[in-house]
Structure 1
Amino acid sequence: MPETCLTVWYNTPCPVCDAGIDWQRNKLLAAMRAGAIEFKDINDEPDALGRYGATVDDVRRRLHATDETGRLIVGTDVAVASWRLTPGEGWLATLFGSRVMLPLTRFFYDRFADLLFTWNKSRGRW
């Protein structure tokens, strides 16, 4: 099991975010038991990422995570880091996290995240 400890922060009131994290969590049960990854709802600890300058709305807009060194990871990079830990999904990290694809992956992730944030906000999901 990897020695990495990745703490992923997300927004549970968002049905897309919650379903995606739930799906990922089910694939990472062994990694969670080993302490390699954990998932936390930003709404339970709204000031948790304040030392990085990240607000609750920042996390509601894009996934955020901290790694074992305390470094903040945001957006696509969180997905890539979790795919690296997920059995059978390393190829996703290799493909979408490659030097060639990463800028495109970030662009499309950010556009989707912006739309999802606006949709959730218009529905009062927090």
Structure 2
Amino acid sequence: MTGRRLVVWYNTRCPVCDAGIDWQRNKLLAAVRAGDISFSDINEQPDALAGFGASLDDIRRRLHATDETGRLIVGADVVIAMWKVTPGEGWLASLFGNRLMLPLTRFGYDRFADVLFAWNRWKGHW
């Protein structure tokens, strides 16, 4: 991931999100150590993406990230960006991130995120 810095914001209080990001971070250990990608808990800096108009609940609902240009990436696009740089997972980015599949990928991700967000609220994972 040379020259590209991706900062992924997620909700550590969500057990599913925390486990998923922990698993992904371990696969990206070399990139994390090199500073090419980092993972940040939105609960520690709840206003971190306020400049983009993203609320704390927005970030708790869907993954958010910023790239090397400072552009905001949201939802399934964050997952695809991580797959692109994860050894052995580039094929997932190609499959689910191509122009034909991307609308379906985003739809599926958003529905899953909505259910997970509702579950977290119900369980009090704030």
Query: Which bracket does the TM-score occupy, shorter chain normalised?
Result: over 0.9
Equivalent position amino acid for 1:33 in 2? R
Separation in 2, partners of 1:63, 1:2 = 23
| 1:86 is aligned to 2:86 | yes
User: SS at 1:60's partner residue?
Assistant: helix
1:65 equivalent in structure 2: 65
Cα shift readout 1:36-74 (whole Å, capped 9, x = no counterpart): 100000000000000000011000000000000000000
Question: What percentage of residue pairs aligned between the two structures are identical?
Answer: 73
2:76 equivalent in structure 1: 76
Question: For structure 1, which runs of at least 5 residues remain unmatched after alignment?
Answer: none
Separation in 2, partners of 1:96, 1:53 = 27
TM (norm. structure 2) is 0.98
1:43 equivalent in structure 2: 43
2:24 equivalent in structure 1: 24
Cα RMSD for the two superposed structures: 0.6
User: SS at 1:73's partner residue?
Assistant: strand
Equivalent position amino acid for 1:74 in 2? V
Equivalent position amino acid for 2:8 in 1? V
- Paired residues, number: 126
4+ residue segments displaced more than 2 Å: none
Separation in 2, partners of 1:34, 1:13 = 26
1:123 equivalent in structure 2: 123
User: SS at 2:81's partner residue?
Assistant: helix
2:109 equivalent in structure 1: 109
Separation in 2, partners of 1:104, 1:114 = 15
TM (norm. structure 1) is 0.98
